[in-house]
Amino acid sequence: MKTVLVNVVTPDGPVYDADVEMVSVKAQSGELGILPGHIPMVAPLEIGAVRLKQGSSTELVAVSGGFIEVRPDKVTILAQTAEKAENIDVHRAAEAKRRAEERLTHKSDEIDFKRAELALRRAINRLNVTK
Which parts of this chain interact with ligand ATP (CB under 6 A)?
A: 12, 64, 81, 83, 87-89, 92-93, 96, 119, 122, 126
Q: Which is nearer to ligand ATP, 29 or 87 (CB)?
A: 87
Min CB(87)–ligand ATP separation in Å? 6
Q: Which helix (H) or strand (E) holds 18?
A: strand 13-20
With respect to ligand ATP, which residue has the nearer C-beta, 4 or 77?
77
CB of 129 to ligand ATP, least distance (A): 10
| 8 Å CB contact between 74 and 7 | yes
Residues 6+ apart with CB under 8 A from 112: 103
DSSP string covering 47-67: EEEEEEEETTEEEEEEEEEEE
| CB closer to ligand ATP out of 73 and 117 | 117
